[in-house]
């Protein structure tokens, strides 16, 4: 499946993305390289999968890594205390 993009049910992801990024996401989705799950919520992150609420359905997707883009200031100390490895990337691809 490649990458999965999850948009929170309370977040208008299509309005928040810059036009050039929106076009890239749409192209990758159309090519089958990216699965976009808008109006969904991450319910649980497991060692090898993520449980997602998608409408009335609960789905589980296998994963190798999770990238959290939460905006604002990342609570690095809190995340590290609960055992989450935090790696900050600035403009890298």
CATH number for the domain whose boundaries are 3-66: 3.50.50.60
pTM: 0.58
Per-residue pLDDT of the chain (93 residues; tens, 9 = 90+): 455 555 555 444 444 567 777 788 888 888 888 888 877 888 888 989 989 888 899 999 888 888 776 667 777 888 888 888 887 777 655
Distances (CA, A) of 62 to 2, 14, 52, 54, 73: 10, 25, 11, 16, 28
Residue appearing with tokens 């190798």 = 64
Cβ neighbour number for residue 40 with a 10 Å cutoff: 19
Can you tell me the distance from the alpha carbon of 59 to that of 83, in angstroms, rounded to the nearest whole number? 25
**What is the per-residue pLDDT across 3-16, written as a single tens digit (0 to 9) for each?**
555 555 544 444 45
């Amino acid at each position: 499946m490649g990458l999965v993009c999850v948009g929170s049910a309370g977040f208008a992801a299509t309005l928040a993305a810059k036009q050039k990024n929106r076009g890239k996401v749409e192209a990758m989705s159309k090519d089958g390289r990216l699965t976009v799950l808008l109006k969904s919520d991450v319910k649980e992150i497991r060692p090898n999968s993520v449980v997602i609420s998608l409408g009335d359905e609960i789905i589980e997707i296998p994963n190798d890594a999770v990238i959290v883009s939460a905006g604002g200031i990342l609570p690095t100390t809190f995340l590290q205390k609960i055992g989450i490895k935090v790696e900050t990337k600035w403009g890298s691809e």
